[in-house]
Structure 1
Amino acid sequence: GGMLYAEGPICQAAYQNDFGQVWRWVKEDSTYANVQDGFNGDTPLICACRRGHVRIVSFLLRRNANVNLKNQKERTCLHYAVKKKFTFIDYLLIVLLMPVLLIGYFLMVSKTKQNEAVVRMLLDAGVEVNATDCYGCTALHYACEMKNQSLIPLLLEARADPTIKNKHGESSLDIARRLKFSQIELMLRKAC
């Protein structure tokens, strides 16, 4: 079982943005691109999407990583790409650098752009946009919950359905309404 030995390291390497390690595993055996770790069923692609590592995502997709594999929470890589938040360190840098020549602002913009790039790549690779997780939530549910305004148009363009209800009986449209995100609500209404 070389496979058993690899599942931890390749997923960890993808999570930690260790491109060299990921490349070495996949080069040795292309099936490693779709290995699922024993702990929570994450694939290297899901791990890379959790952290927004664009280069690793792009590499894995070129090596035919399966975008529709689900982990134990029944989430695909798209759920994680959309759920990706700024980390505490990101915020710290943004706040500290904001006064300095707007570097913080540009950092924020570039992080947002990276996020969009990852989501776009996954959609182009044929990820099921309306896949639901164990809570019945689609990527659009999470995008609305997190007020991720830059990603919502991408999801809608890819035919995300704002009327799908999660296990609490709430649709993406309901979430936008409940959280009083009027611009998002407007976008979703147009898509209905």
Structure 2
Amino acid sequence: MSNDTPLIYACISNNETIVKYLVERGANVNEEDKEGSTSLFYACKNENEDIIKCLIDYGADVNKENKVQEIPLFYACESGNENIVKYLV
């Protein structure tokens, strides 16, 4: 995980407090990791609705594709979380 940004790492760790702290101080919500995934991908994988809403409120691109042409919605559908799917659509 050494290539992950602090924001991506906070999303992987499911740490809502740190995510909010970082975005409020200007962290780039659309910065990619080596796979082309952004923090929103990891928030969707963890099914954390509050983090997802926070990231989107701060400009996260819901249609951003990673290197294998997946978008965050893919992970929301995979988890079966209807609330997240509806929020992303």
TM-score, structure 2 as length reference? 0.93
Structure 1, unaligned runs of 5 or more: 1-36, 86-114, 157-192
2:69 aligned to which of 104, 125, 136: 136
1:155 pairs with 2:88: yes
User: In the TM superposition, what whole-angstrom CA distance separates every residue of 1:47-84 from its partner, at most 9, and x where no partner exists?
Assistant: 11112111000000111000010000100000000011
Which residue of structure 2 aligns with residue 53 of structure 1? 15
Q: Which has the larger radius of gyration?
A: 1
Rounded Cα–Cα distance in structure 2 between residues aligned with 1:45 and 1:128? 15
Rounded Cα–Cα distance in structure 1 between residues aligned with 2:72 and 2:51? 13
Structure 2, unaligned runs of 5 or more: none
Percent of aligned positions that are identical: 38
Aligned residues: 89
Higher-helix-fraction structure: 1
TM-score, structure 1 as length reference? 0.45
2:25 aligned to which of 60, 63, 67: 63
Q: Which amino acid aligns with 2:60?
A: V
Q: Which amino acid aligns with 2:36?
A: E
Displacement of 1:150: 2.1
Which 4+ residue blocks in structure 1 deviate beyond 6 angstroms? none
How large is the Cα RMSD of the aligned pairs?
Answer: 1.3
Displacement of 1:145: 1.2
